[in-house]
């Protein structure tokens, strides 16, 4: 189970992929702000959009009602869309108000809820103007979270890609960069493991503080913590960094494979690697095993939403004995998933993109024991008698690493345990 190298022609590495283009049912990239603003502690996200976007973010962030969030919406009115008001002047005023109220802010993102052609405002140009006005105290950057241009997790990718040009240049000495938002507890765990292995220095993108951006250059080796960072990886590679292919750190097997990719690059002896990782891997497997009786043999259907679907399916199939029927993902990046695809069950259907009506027809016909999908589809499917798991919870919850492997398994066991309790 641990030897991915022996499975180069197994699994779904060469499997055909069903590509569908049709009606979509996913959150837009704006929702990434919910976890990004918690990670970069001195950043502020100013959404430039409609009242609909403001209501979406208010609803998505309802769990944080007791804390003052570091994001807001500059609402575009009909006069703005008609070109009757000077939107740039109004934007400058709103940014000034935000920075006056929050003097702790060191980086401000202008996040477009729609393309520039729709909101009649070039946010990239506005960001450059505001950056000149507020530098060096505050850096101002822009990216798109538009549902026309991005899906659910691509907002994080767009944000991190906007940070890459701001990263200082590094010397040629080897350094490891972990790209992708990780909960602070997970980041601390990973840093301790890398330190014990002798891998490093290690930087994380995004950092906890805006002025702590790690350096990047020809000596940088990149481990992706998330599978949806295509633009970020491309931007890092353009600055000389090299991606280390690895499974993603979900479950005991994935975490070990992810750490091994860095250890091999740094020439860590196998005996030392096992000494550092054995206890964590054993602890993870024990925590996972507590949920195997609930999940083993159960069928599973992934509707495309977060781009986490493929590594999650690998974890659930190989470590918990579940049977993925269809693994749908918004976008399948073969290079970034090269270590994952051979580990998937051969009989699973891979689908890329979305035609929600056709996918729902296949899901209803299969009657899976558990369906992983977005919030918009979960309630209707529950009403039809199908147990569901919200994919958004898998982004909000710390799930990477050895110490979170049991929690990850429990997230999938919980809907089935609840359904069993309700039918008694």
Chain centroid, CA 119 distance in Å: 27
Cα 30 from Cα 158, distance rounded (Å): 10
Whether the ω angle into residue 206 lies within 30 degrees of 0, i.e. cis, is yes
Q: Is 373 annotated as a binding residue?
A: no
* Buried b or exposed e, range 380-411, using 16+ CB within 10 angstroms: ebeeeebbbbbbbebbeebbbbbbbbbebbbb
CA-atom Rg of the chain in angstroms? 22
Picking from 60, 35, 62, 57, the residue whose alpha carbon sits closest to that of residue 46 is 57
Q: To which H or E segment does residue 325 belong?
A: strand 323-329
Find residue 329's DSSP bridge partners: 352
Number of neighbours of residue 205 by Cβ within 10 angstroms: 21
**149: closest CA among 124, 117, 192?**
117
CB atoms within 10 A of CB 238: 11
**Please, is 271 exposed, middle or buried when counting C-beta atoms within 10 Å of its C-beta (0-12, 13-18, 19+)?**
exposed
Residue 114 assigned ligand-binding role:
yes
User: What's CA 290's distance to the chain center, in Å?
Assistant: 27
Phi and psi at 149, nearest 5°, equal -105, -20
Asked if residues 305 and 152 have their Cβ atoms less than 8 Å apart, the reply is yes
**In the block, which residue shows the tokens 């070039």?**
122
Q: Facing residues of 111 across strands? A: 47, 143
Q: Do 243 and 222 meet the contact criterion of CB atoms below 8 Å apart?
A: yes
CA angle 380, 385, 391 (to 5 degrees): 55
Q: In what order do the strands lie in the sheet with 107-112?
A: 71-75, 43-49, 107-112, 139-144
Could you tell me which residues come within 8 angstroms of residue 108 by beta carbon, excluding any fewer than 6 positions away? 43, 44, 45, 46, 95, 98, 99, 130, 134, 138, 139, 140, 141
Give the helix/strand (H/E) hosting 141.
strand 139-144
Q: Which residues are annotated as a binding site?
A: 28, 53, 114
Q: Which residues are annotated as a binding site for [4Fe-4S] cluster?
A: 28, 53, 114
């Amino acid at each position: 189970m641990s030897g991915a190298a022996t499975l180069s022609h197994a699994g779904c590495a060469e499997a055909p992929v069903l590509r569908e283009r049709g009606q979509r049912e996913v959150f837009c990239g704006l929702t990434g702000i919910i976890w990004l603003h918690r990670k970069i502690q001195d950043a502020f996200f100013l959404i430039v959009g409609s009242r609909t976007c403001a209501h979406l973010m208010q609803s998505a962030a309802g769990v944080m009602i007791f804390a003052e969030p570091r994001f807001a919406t500059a609402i575009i009115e009909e006069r703005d869309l008609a070109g009757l008001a000077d939107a740039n002047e109004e934007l400058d005023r709103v940014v000034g108000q935000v920075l006056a109220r929050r003097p702790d802010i060191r980086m401000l993102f202008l996040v477009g809820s729609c393309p520039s052609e729709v909101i009649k405002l070039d946010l990239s140009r506005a960001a450059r103007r505001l950056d000149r006005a507020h530098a060096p105290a505050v850096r101002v950057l822009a990216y798109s979270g538009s549902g026309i241009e991005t899906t659910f997790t691509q907002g994080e990718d767009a944000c991190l890609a906007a940070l890459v040009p701001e990263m200082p240049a590094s010397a040629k000495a080897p350094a490891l960069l972990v790209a992708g938002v990780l909960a602070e507890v997970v980041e601390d765990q990973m840093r301790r493991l890398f330190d014990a292995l002798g891998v490093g220095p290690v930087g994380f993108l995004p950092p906890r503080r805006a002025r702590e951006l790690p350096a990047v250059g020809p000596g940088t080796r990149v481990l992706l913590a998330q599978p949806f960072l295509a633009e970020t990886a491309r931007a890092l590679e353009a600055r000389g960094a090299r991606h280390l292919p690895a499974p993603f750190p979900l479950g005991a097997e994935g975490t070990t494979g992810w750490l091994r990719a860095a250890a091999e690059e740094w020439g860590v002896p196998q005996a030392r690697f096992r000494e550092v990782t054995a206890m964590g891997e054993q602890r993870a497997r024990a925590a996972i095993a507590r949920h195997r009786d609930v999940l083993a043999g159960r069928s599973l259907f992934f509707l495309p939403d977060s781009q986490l679907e493929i590594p999650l399916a690998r974890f659930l199939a190989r470590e918990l004995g579940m049977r993925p029927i269809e693994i749908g993902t918004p976008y399948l990046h073969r290079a970034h998933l090269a270590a994952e695809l051979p580990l998937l069950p051969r009989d699973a259907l891979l689908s890329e993109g979305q035609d929600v009506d056709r996918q729902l027809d296949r899901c209803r016909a299969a009657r899976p024991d558990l369906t992983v999908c977005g919030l918009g589809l979960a309630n209707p499917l529950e009403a039809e008698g199908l147990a569901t798991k919200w994919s958004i919870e898998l982004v909000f919850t710390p799930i990477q690493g050895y110490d979170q492997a049991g929690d990850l398994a429990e997230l999938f066991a919980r809907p089935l345990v609840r359904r069993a309790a309700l039918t008694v």
